[in-house]
Every structure is written in structure tokens, then in C-alpha cells.
Structure 1
Amino acid sequence: MKFSSRLSFRLFLATLFLASISFAQSAKPVITKIDPPNWFAGLPTSLLLIHGEHLENTTFSIHGAKAHITETTISPNGHWAFVHLDPGKKPASIQLIAANPHGITTTPYILSARRPQSEQPKGFNSSDVMYLIMPDRFADADPANDALPDFRDPDDRTRARAYHGGDIRGIESHLDYLQQLGVTTIWTTPLYDNSAEQSGNSYHGYSATDMYAVDPHLGTMSDLQALVRAAHSRGMKIVLDTVPNHVGRAHPWAQDMPTPDWFHGTPASHIQAQYDFMTIVDPNGNVATRTAVLNGWFANSLPDLNQDSPLVAQYLTQNAIWWIETAGIDGFRLDTFPYVPRSFWHTYNGTLHQLYPQFTDVGEVFDGDPKVTSFFAGGRANQGSDGTVDTLLDTPFDYPMFFALRGALTRKKPMTAIADVLKQDALYPHPERLVTFFGNHDNKRFLSEPGADPAALRLGFGLLATLRGMPQLYYGDEIAMSGGNDPDNRRDFPGGFPQDQSGSSNQTKSDAFTQSGRTDAEQAMETWVSSLLQLRAHTPALQTGQLAVLSADDNILAFVRGADLSSACSQQPRYIIAANSDTAPHDIAIPLAAAPLAGCTRFTPALETPAEAHSTAGQLQIHLPAQQIAILRAEP
């Protein structure tokens, strides 16, 4: 009986297995997702990445309009289809038809109209001021997305690595504050859907599980479009953080790759990313280390996309196009820039600049050596171990200046460190485009840097507003927020959450978005920053003028900004900036005989500070109290 029962059970399993195979072979196609979810008439051929079941032996066709399919490839497991679609010239609603011998599945698909010329990206430049926001930590204006059903980890503001409830509407509701401060460009950390991770650890947005959706914790695409419209109505711009290097561990691709080479390796077998960018910069760089930079998994856990695959490259490029057309954004911040092949960036940026001439992007090259950061800047084909390539990147962030500012202002480095960075500007095709900063979400807050204090922070803002390039602020630095290393540097903006203003849930009542809600220290710093940014907004020389260092030593840095500094002082005013990082006062004498100050006779404060200045005997004498800055207007 036991043998007979065992045999019957085995026959049952075999029958069930054969039946499942028969069902799979006799089932009609099932389509569960199409990337991109829509495309745009008049754009180049789109690659539709279709996910589903029973796609093997399936043919695809289009009904409606003049769009047509040019090529189709299907994965061996029948889960993925690559359909190349020529969208034609006119917007239309079409039907995507998937047919196999066992049935037909029809899916509606939209070919949308492109944005009109008046809504094309505006880009950013050195006349702008960029402000970095982590939406989850800035402001909560939509309580409906604070407790998502079917999401494992609840919002919890008491935990540093959890969603706190901030959202896109929270940014829009505080545009008045940002504009009054002097901000013209808002950079948000990624808005990609990270929710498949089912973890509050994904609050930052850098672990995408769907690159064609907004994370529901942060809002909807409609919310983003409303933010863009509201910002544009004020003359402000929106820059979106995007991550072509990797996706999150919970992305469906991690367990079911569309092609065998979609990633560099698998979750079970991959190499860890290395951070030695010099192996790319050096034409003779170590090949194994360079491979680890380009092919390694960031943090040894995030699946590394293979941009050398034409299918992956096209997917990522048209993903960028889709966000530009759908949301109306003005630029990108490109995460982990050196970890992606420069050959990909050349094509990616070339495509975007051809379609959107005013669109701009800034790349993260986290390195303090100008020889490294300038190597990745666009505008020049640089020879490295990966060939001779122009990335066509508009600009990298000025990380060398970041390290110089932090070191000099906390007196770990001399002020000559800043001058040394400026001396290497010729390495860049466009040093005037560099994005300067002393704080962001990847580093401890400036005020939590050993040796920092509010006076040093004030001095840092003074230099940030007057150096060449476009200044970038990190949310909350303007009210002197503190915070240690990640995630402590990502605290909530006080006043951005309902509990802040009511004082409930063990939260101290505060609202730093309003003058009446700020502490004295917060108000003093905000007033100083807004006055600096207003000066900059009304002073072309500080936005686009040339820069020449006048003097630099351990404690003092002095430089001049203005047009055509190779000639004598002209009717266009020049601006002299002198900064003292020391805790003791210092005097500086600047000769006036040679350009760029020859012929300048009047020196007036452009912004009132405790510094004093007067000219005598062919010299400009400046008295700088401890940790103070002078900003002088120089005229004939």
C-alpha cells in the first residue's frame, strides 16, 4: 500500500508538471508593464521594454496611427520583449497587439504630444543659485501619503533611516520662502519609486525599483508637474537627481534580468565598486581597478547597470527624455558620474543636448583633485585608460573647492588652499560653470565639522556667494542646522511638519520657514544669507565676471570679480572680496597700480560688514576683524 501510494503521488506530480507546461504553451500573452508607459510623437524610435508572461513565440503589431514596429526581440524565458517603435509624427492613441498561436492580448498605448517650445527646459547657469532638498526631510503638505497601505515600514520621524513624511507638495508650499531667500533653482534628490524595497531605508530615493514612477511616499507625477509649473511661474527652475549607474536591490530586474548582460554580475556573483577614479584618468591606469570602478556594485549591494549594452543604454537615455517631457524639468544632477563609462555619457548627453539645447546637467565627481574632476567635464575630449572621450557634461560639482572651503574655514588648511584650487581653473573647459558648495547630503553639516562655528559658516556663505561658478546650498544650512555623518546630516527642516507647528508628539514647536518662528541664531544666519544672495542677484560681476586672486596667505584670501580684468578699471564696477579665516583681526594692503585695479579710485562697501577699507599711497588698505569678509565695489 505504501509503495502504491507513493507511486500514485509521483504520477500526480508528473501529471501536474506536464499540465503546467501545456498551459504555458497554450496560454495567450500577458502584459504586466511597459517601459516607458507612453512615448512622444516626433521623437526618435522608442525601445519598449515589455514585461509579462507567455511572450515566447509572440509577434507584436500596432493598430492605429502611422506608428510602426521596426524590430522585436524576446527573452528566452518569455518574460521580456524588446519592441522598437517608430512613433510617427502625430500624437495618437494606439493599440499594442501581442499575438501567439493561443491568443491575442491588446494593450492601449499613448503617443503624446511633446511640450511646446515655451515649456522646453531652461537649464541653469552661473547666474542661478541652486538649493538641494531631500523631499522626505523638507516639508509634509500631503498627509495622505504618510501611511501607505501595504508598505512594511511605517513613517517614523524618530528614526533616522525611515520615511518622515515630507513630499513634493511640501516643496511647492514653501516656494515663497525659497524665493525670498534668493534661490532660483531647486535640486531634489531622486523621486523614483523605491517602494518595492518595502523599507524606510529607501527614503533618500537612490534605490530605484521603478524608474518610470514617482515614489508614492513623495507624491505623484501630477504633484511634480504642479511643482514645476509653480516654480516656472516664478522664474525658478527644477533639477532632478537621476541615477543611470545602478538600481535598488528590490528592483524586479535583480531576480529576472531582461538580458543576461543587463547588469555587471548578479546579486550572488559580482564585484564591489572601487573608488579610484585616477585609474580612468591615467591613460596607463590599472585595468582591473578601472573595471571595478565601472562594473562594481556600489556599496557592494546595488545592481550595477551595464551601459555598454545598447539596450541598457537606450533604456536609460529615453528614461531621461521621458522625465523631461513628462515633468517639464530643466536639468539633471547625475549621480555617481565616474562609475559610468564616458562613452555612454557622450551619447547620453549628446542626445539630450540635441533634443533640448538649453537643458543642463551637473555630475557628481566626488574627488578633491581638480585634475580628476576636470577630466570628466564636457567640452574637451580627454584621453584616459578608457580611450579619448568628451562626456559632453555641462559641468561637474566643484568638489576640490568643497574640500578647500571646509579645510580653510575650519583652519585645518591655509586660505591658500582656496587660491590653489582657483589656480587650476584652466583645467576645465568652462570653470565659470562649476557648481560650488560647502554642504550636501553626503557629508556632515558644516557646523558639525570640527573647528566650525557660526562665524565660519557666515564666512563660508560670503565666499560661496562671490566665487566664480553657481553656488549650491544644502537645505537648512541657511538657518545654521547641524548634523553629523549620514543620516544625521539629513534631519527634518524645522517647521516643515505639522507636529513642528503644534508642538505635539514630543516635538518642540518651531517653524524656521517664518521669521517669527526662528530662533535668534536661525534668523541671524538667514538674514545674512538672503542679503548675500540678493546682492549677487543684482550684481552681474558676481554672476558672470572673471576672477583674479589678489592676495592669499594662511589667514587671508582676496580676489576681484569683474568684466575684462586684463584691463584697467572701467565704468563697469569691479568687486573686491577679502576674507579672514583667523580668530584674530588682520590687515591687508592691495596694490592699485596694475590691472585689474589700475584706475580704481572709489571703494565703497557693497554689503555692510565690520570690515573697514580706504585707499592711500597707491594701496587699498583693508582691516578685517576675526572671521569677517569685506565686499567692496571698485570704480574709477
Structure 2
Amino acid sequence: MFCNRLVVCLLGGLLIFSGAANSSAQSGRTPLNNCATVAGPCVDKVDPPNWWAALPSPMLLLHGDHLRKAKFTISGNGVSVDKSKVSANGHYAFVWLKTDGATSQDIHIHVSARSGSMTVPYSLNQRKPAGYRGFSSADAMYLILTDRFADGDLSNDNFPPGFGVVDRTKPTAWHGGDLRGIEQHLDYLQQLGITTVWITPAYESSGEPHAYHGYDATDMYAVDPHFGTLADYERLAADLHSRGMKFVLDLVPNHVGPAHPWAVDPPTPDWFHGTPMDHRRAKSNFASLVSPDAGGQGSLDVVDGWFSNVKPDLNQDNPLVEKYLIQNAVWWVESAGLDGLRLDTFPYVQRTFWHDFHATLHELYPHLTTVGEIFNHDPAITSFFAGGVAHQGVDSGLDTPFDFPMFSALRNTLVKDAPMTALDEVLRQDRLYPHPERLVPFLGNHDTGRFMSEPGATPAKLKMGFGLLTTMRGMPQIYSGDEIAMRGGKDPDNRHDFPGGFPGDTKNAFTAQGRTPEEQDMYTTVAALLHYRAAHTSLKTGEQKDIFADQSAFAFVRAVDIQTGCTANHKEDRVLVVANRADQPRELTLPLKDSALEGCTHFEPALRTNSKAVADSTSVHLTVAPQTVAIYQVQ
């Protein structure tokens, strides 16, 4: 499975490797050697492929053949081998280096046995100034499914069979989107009002013809050649940071793809929970993890099961697996100066691993932010996985979960006729979270059907959704294409290509001229909301106080110091948001006394809101247009 990765020169019995990482856009990581042609000890792959001198000493995982009785030494200044461990079949060697105090340099790993010897070059790089700023509620996040956004490099589209041929006529094939395509459209994102870009995993998964999404890794230390090279990844990060934007990468410590070489030849017998022929099927009964008597059959079906019943489930209880995965996260962060990580399938991994994972990452990168996928609509369950508090004796360390309960409430109230009180019910449970202000609400993502394909959805209701999303507490996340009202049902119908990002597209929605009237109207609405949000501290970092909710209306206030109301000495930004889902105007009277609006006398409609507000000494009287989110600047 590794024979396509490595190229070698054999000189007088000494193996000297040539080529730099990512020199070939067609095969992922540069090949080092075809071990089938070497009689002695052979290494054809090293994870991680490089490291940094100022970081903690690494554990290397070498793959090759005839390693069972090999010895490992290092040539380098201040670098040595601390210990090593070889797999029973001689295909893997764990080698712990001691790099404390070492400077950046090129070193050599010597592998020797009676049958021969070889030398593997390795680099300890110098750390470079980078991002690591983290994201917060002051940001607006944009989710990009890399393969479906834009094809910026046509040279990486054509691959031989078995490596995922680009075919845009097939919904689950590769379509050609890549990292350069994202970089080429950063102006579009900034004009929209986006500050943070989240991309789906960049792992190599070319052995999988339908793994365009990146969640089926075949090499966790390589950028998939469909997406480009490591240099493309680093350049995208640099461009984002030069614009003051932030970069979030999706990581998957829970599983690898079924075509990963480990599936048939794992580094240790307990590298996975089970085997391809004998394993549990993952179930999403997260309540079994929250229960006080967690640890029974239900819990094992979650944390030990194979996702989709085919994806090998990594055993993070194995210290070698844990070390490998934590180092892998460090490698991706350090390579690009990432600002944050999106952590896939978060509940499917043991809390003890997440505790150790975050302890390491937060020590190395104090400002790095993590957001976890907990696909559940109950705040009592979602909040269980948030960091900042120990549940069952373990703090996960997670900075924040995605707000799946709010996603569900927004869909239910806007297109399924649930009472607007459902929004208030979710928000009242914010007390369950150590940091509810960090939550990431959203209207949809790549795992849900598009909002506009919900039965009963209309552009007006989607605008209401964006109005609420961009004004409520937390950081809004927008799925690429929702800002132009794209349609699509369940996966893969929700993953259509962004119009204008690919050769042969008949329209280009990246430009105002290329959008339909409906697309332009939605884009203008979303951009106006995001820019208004960016201009108001209350909406970025302020507190939220819900003040009214009934069957068809919902109102809340945002302010930095929400307890004081409007006073003569209080000049802070204050915003009133009122949503009317009804098909006719709503007349609302909101009392001012003993509320976040106490003392407020002036209510100025914002963003050309077609809604009136008249205040007297005791109340504010509102007339809110039908199917509208009205925003008022309050003093």
C-alpha cells in the first residue's frame, strides 16, 4: 500500500533518500523507497515527516520492512534516540527522539541490522511567526467543503483509476475543488463579511474514489493531491492571516478511511477497536455517555464502534495511538499557524483522550480555539462535552461545541411551525454551558439538508434565519452557498458545486453580475447583516437577554453590560432584535421597567427595517412587518 510513496537511490549498500515533501502533485507525499526491492531493513515512510526543534521531543512512526531486529541511532547535534519499539512483523518501528535544547537542523536516522543498513534524512525545522490567534464570538465562520468550492489548479484534476477520478457528473465523485480555489476567492469572503474560514479535512484520501470530503484519511500526514500540496496549504494560511482573517482546519481523530494501509496492517494489534471483519458498529446514543452509569454496552457502541460500520475506529486508549494523534494535530497547526480546529465526531472519542489532547494543544498554543461536532439537539447532552467543567471526573478541554440545539430550534420555528418560544427554551439552557457565549450556532452544514430545501422554506424565512443567526449570542457559522440560497436535500444533494468555481460553469455566483436576482438579494441581505454585526460590539461580544416569546414572535436584547439598562452614564452599544414569523404585521408592546431596556427612550430601526418603534416612559410599542427580523439601535 506504500509502494507509490517513496523513491530511493542505492549507493554502495547505503540508502540515500531524495526529493522534498510534496514535490509530486500526483501522489501525495513524496515516495522514499519501494521496500519490496530491498533485502535489508527498509523504511519507506516516517510520521511525522518533519518536526520543529522548539517543540516537545517527537515520537516517530517508521513504516517499512525487515525492521524487527533493527537498531536505530541518530546523527545530529543535541539529538538522540531515547527508546524504540518494533512491531512483531517488522513493518513498523516507534522511535522516540530526544530533542530538548536542539536547534533547527537536518539530521539522519540510521537503521542497521545484520542484513544491511540504511539512512533516513529528517528535518527539525525552525518555528516561524504565525497565527494561533483563535476565533471568538466576534468572528463569523464560513464552512467550505474544499472539493465543492472552486477549482483553482486544473493540473491536479486528472488522476489514474484508484486515486479518485474527477467527474462532476457524479454526486459522490471528486469534483476538483482545491486549496488554490479557496485562496482565489478570499476577496469574495471578505466582501461578504467573513472573518474565519473552516475547511473540511485536508488529509490524503486518494485511495478512496468517493472520499472527496476528506473524512476517510489514507495518510494523516499529507495533503490530498486533489487539494494541492503542503505549500498550497501554507500559502492559503498566509494569505488569510495577511488579510486579518483566521484559518480553521477539520481534524478526525476518531477514525481513518477503510482504504488506509493500517486497516489490514496496523502498527500494533490494538491500534483499532476491532478489525475489518470483527468490530462494533458505531451508534449515536450519546445519552449513554451522559448517564451517571456510563461505561456499559451503549457507551461502547459509541466510543468503540466503527463509524458507518466501515471506518476503522482508532483506539485512543492505546498510549501510542494517543501520542500519534496529538502529534498529528500539532503538525497541522504548526505547519500553517492555524487559529483553530474543528473536531469531527467528538463524542465518539473517549473524554480522557480529549483532556490530554487539549492539555497539549492549549499549552503549546494558548490562543488556539477548538469547536466540536456533537450532533445532538438536546442542550443537556451537547453541554456535557464542553470544556471548562469536569463531568465524570474529566474535563474534555473543548473550547466550545457547535450549537446543534439552536440549529434544530431555528429550523423547527422557521419552517416547521414550532412556536417561537422554542428559541427561548434553548437559550434558557445556556446555563448548562461553562461558556455559552462561545457557542457556534448555524442554519446548516455539509451534513444537513439545505435550509431552502426544507418543505415550506422561502427566501423570506431564510432571511429571518440569517437575521437571528447574526444577532444572537455566539459566533455564527455559514455553510458555503447558503448566502446565495442554494438548494439541496440530504447528503450528497446538499454538496453541489459552488456556481462559478469550476471550468465550464455557465454562471458565476462569486460576482454580482453572475448571480440571479434571488441569489443577489440573499447575498446582499447576509452581507449587510454581517457588516452590521461587525460594527456593533454588543452583537460581537455582548450579553443576551430574551424579553419576549410567543407562538410567532421572539425578542431579545444584546448589550455589553446588559444589567444596567439605558442610563445617562451608559453609552455602550445596545441592540433590540424582534422576529415576527407571522404572515401579517405584529403589534407588540414591551415593558421597559425591570428589563434590559429600562431607561431606554430611543429605538432607531437599522438596516432599513420596515418596522416602527415608539417609546414612552413605560413601554416601547413596535409594529413589526410580517416574516421579518427587525433590528433596532437602542439608547
Shorter chain as denominator, the TM-score bin is over 0.9
Deviation (angstroms), 1:411: 3.6
Deviation (angstroms), 1:614: 1.3
- 1:544-575 per-position Cα deviation (integer Å, ceiling 9, x unaligned): 11100010001000000002222231211310
Give the partner amino acid of 1:295: D
Q: What's 1:484 paired with?
A: 489
- 1:408-448 per-position Cα deviation (integer Å, ceiling 9, x unaligned): 01143111111001101110000000001011000000000
Superposed, 1:427-442 pairs within 5 Å as 427-442=432-447
Percent identity (aligned)? 54
Asked if the contact 2:164–2:207 (Cα under 8 Å) also holds between the matched residues in 1, the reply is no
More helix by share: 1
Q: What's 1:95 paired with?
A: 108
Asked if the contact 2:413–2:422 (Cα under 8 Å) also holds between the matched residues in 1, the reply is yes
Give the partner amino acid of 1:589: T
Q: What's 2:152 paired with?
A: 141
Q: What's 1:584 paired with?
A: 584
Q: What's 2:519 paired with?
A: 522
Deviates more, 1:323-332 or 1:514-523: 323-332
Return the alpha-carbon distance in structure 1 between the equivalents of residues 435 and 171 of structure 2.
39
Q: What's 1:3 paired with?
A: none
Q: What's 1:467 paired with?
A: 472
Give the partner amino acid of 2:43: I
Asked if the contact 1:221–1:327 (Cα under 8 Å) also holds between the matched residues in 2, the reply is no
1:622 and 2:622 matched: yes
1:336 and 2:341 matched: no
Asked if the contact 1:120–1:356 (Cα under 8 Å) also holds between the matched residues in 2, the reply is no
> Against the structure 1 CA distance between its residues 266 and 572, is the aligned structure 2 distance closer, same or farther, given a 3 Å change threshold?
same
Return the alpha-carbon distance in structure 2 between the equivalents of residues 163 and 363 of structure 1.
26
Asked if the contact 1:551–1:557 (Cα under 8 Å) also holds between the matched residues in 2, the reply is yes
Deviation (angstroms), 1:584: 2.4
Return the alpha-carbon distance in structure 2 between the equivalents of residues 57 and 540 of structure 1.
63
Superposed, 1:185-200 pairs within 5 Å as 185-197=196-208, 199=209
1:415 and 2:444 matched: no
Return the alpha-carbon distance in structure 2 between the equivalents of residues 223 and 164 of structure 1.
18
Give the partner amino acid of 1:109: Y
Give the partner amino acid of 2:361: L
Deviation (angstroms), 1:583: 2.1
Return the alpha-carbon distance in structure 1 between the equivalents of residues 165 and 110 of structure 2.
40
Deviates more, 1:544-553 or 1:144-153: 144-153
Return the alpha-carbon distance in structure 1 between the equivalents of residues 250 and 295 of structure 2.
31
Asked if the contact 2:251–2:344 (Cα under 8 Å) also holds between the matched residues in 1, the reply is yes
The match for 1:363 among 368, 372, 376 is: 372
1:269 and 2:283 matched: no
Asked if the contact 1:139–1:170 (Cα under 8 Å) also holds between the matched residues in 2, the reply is yes
How many residues were matched structurally?
Answer: 596
1:61 and 2:73 matched: yes
Higher Cα radius of gyration: 1
Deviation (angstroms), 1:152: 5.2
Q: What RMSD, in angstroms, separates the aligned Cα atoms of the two structures? A: 1.3
Return the alpha-carbon distance in structure 2 between the equivalents of residues 355 and 286 of structure 1.
32
1:404 and 2:416 matched: no
Q: What's 1:611 paired with?
A: 611
Q: What's 2:84 paired with?
A: 72
Give the partner amino acid of 2:522: M
1:531 and 2:536 matched: no
Q: What's 2:175 paired with?
A: 164
Task: Using structure 1 for the length normalisation, give the TM-score.
Answer: 0.92
- 1:77-103 per-position Cα deviation (integer Å, ceiling 9, x unaligned): 000000011223311101100001121
- 1:553-605 per-position Cα deviation (integer Å, ceiling 9, x unaligned): 01000000002222231211310000011222211111012231111111101
Q: What's 1:104 paired with?
A: 117
Asked if the contact 1:411–1:581 (Cα under 8 Å) also holds between the matched residues in 2, the reply is no
Return the alpha-carbon distance in structure 2 between the equivalents of residues 58 and 334 of structure 1.
37
Task: Using structure 2 for the length normalisation, give the TM-score.
Answer: 0.92
Give the partner amino acid of 2:46: I
Q: What's 1:566 paired with?
A: 563
Asked if the contact 2:601–2:617 (Cα under 8 Å) also holds between the matched residues in 1, the reply is no
Asked if the contact 1:48–1:85 (Cα under 8 Å) also holds between the matched residues in 2, the reply is yes
Give the partner amino acid of 1:131: Y
SS of 2:283 mapped into structure 1? coil
Superposed, 1:150-299 pairs within 5 Å as 151=162, 153-197=164-208, 199=209, 201-285=210-294, 287-299=296-308
Deviation (angstroms), 1:622: 1.1
Asked if the contact 2:131–2:241 (Cα under 8 Å) also holds between the matched residues in 1, the reply is no
Listed as ranges, the gaps of 5+ residues in structure 1 are: 1-22, 501-508
Asked if the contact 2:193–2:531 (Cα under 8 Å) also holds between the matched residues in 1, the reply is yes
Asked if the contact 1:468–1:547 (Cα under 8 Å) also holds between the matched residues in 2, the reply is yes
SS of 1:37 mapped into structure 2? coil
Deviates more, 1:559-568 or 1:331-340: 559-568
SS of 1:196 mapped into structure 2? coil
Deviation (angstroms), 1:543: 0.6
SS of 1:49 mapped into structure 2? strand
- 1:223-257 per-position Cα deviation (integer Å, ceiling 9, x unaligned): 11111111111100110000000000000000001
Q: What's 2:450 paired with?
A: 445
Q: What's 1:373 paired with?
A: 382
Give the partner amino acid of 2:436: P
